[in-house]
Amino acid sequence: MSECLGKSLGDEMKAMRLIQTKKAEEHPLEMMDIPEPKVGMGQIRIKMLTCGVCHTDLHIAEGELKAPKLPITLGHQAIGEIDQIGEGVTGFEISERVGAPWLAYTCGTCDFCRRGEENLCLFIQFHGFHVDGGFAEKMLINANFAVKLPINLNPVETAPLLCAGIVGYRSVKLADIKAGDIIGLVGFGASAHLSMQVIKGMGCKVFAFTRAKIHQEHALQLGADWAGDLNDTTPAYCDHIIQFAPAGNLVSPTLEKLRPGGSLVINAVTMSDIPSLPYSKIYGERSIKSVANATRQDAIEFMDWVFKHGIQVTTQIYKLSEANQALIDIKTSKINGEAIIQF
């Protein structure tokens, strides 16, 4: 398997490292000076420009999603400029701008990979989870999984596209949305505010379900046709719903908003347990499916959509030293859109 952390070490760099999982309020990330990684076979190294802070980073930092090893540098929506190119790498140049999404490595040979389902690879690896990510001044990427980015794209606005955008796009694909459908979005954070724009571009109506008034207003500003709480009465049933909020207790009330024959797609890498459901909630050929990561093809398709149509990205900027505060603000729903570390 590929290993994204080089063995040969040189000068030092600053990184916010997760040494021990803790609640976000206890500041689980520690600023450290660590050796810069050196590229190995098939790798490139980037000097960081920006890195998005994802809800998944919060899950890892608090231990809800158990990292295979500690310490680890979190961050998987990283954008930087190449400053080292490893042996065997072609098609990249020094100073070229690239991004590191959640997906860091797949084997290419297991049954899932051969079927084009690399997001389910038996030996899959993720940036900021299996290998060090972008909460550092420099990071390594397996060149086969780097996303090439035009120099004219704003790195602050582009960083959220590499996870919130790509995985949200996969959710839209799995929902089998058609023009004219009414699509519900449960939770309105980084991924939902990007996914909604793709859905609106497909000629659909969007109902945004979120408790926070600030997020309801954000959804309406971006073009939602209705916004409110799951307890509120909607103008109509939804044809399909994408749930972004990682709360299992929301599945039952969400299904009450879904028409017969509709689908509920759950976009969450981890989630609290789903309580027992009466069969009547899914009767009528309603379906529930989960989203597991994303493929490189998803990234190509989504970025192509962005280049053609454009997308409005809402961000809040933090310094590297403020990464713990970004996690707290995500946890307490104080951010509209995505938290971004800018270097």
Query: Amino acid identity, residue 188?
Result: F
pLDDT tens digits, residue range 302-315? 999 999 999 999 99
CATH of domain 166-290: 3.40.50.720
CB 253 within 8 A of CB 230: yes
Q: How many CB atoms lie within 10 A of CB 95?
A: 9
Under DSSP, is residue 216 helix (H, G, I), strand (E, B) or coil? helix
pLDDT tens string 27-66: 999 999 999 999 999 999 999 999 999 999 999 999 999 9
pLDDT at 76 over 80: yes
pLDDT band at 7 (very low <50, low <70, confident <90, very high): very low
The CA distance from 56 to 246, in Å, is 10
Domain ranges of the chain: 9-152+313-342, 166-290
Assigned architecture for domain 9-152+313-342: Alpha-Beta Complex (3.90)
Distance CA 91, CA 310 (A): 26
pLDDT in tens, 140-173: 999 999 999 998 899 999 999 999 999 999 999 9
Give the Cα separation of 252 and 44 in Å (integer).
Answer: 45
Q: Against a cut of 0.95, is the pTM above it?
A: no
Partners of residue 287 on adjacent β-strands: 263
DSSP 149-182: --TTS-HHHHGGGGTHHHHHHHHHHHTT--TT-E
Distances (CA, A) of 313 to 310, 331, 339: 10, 20, 11
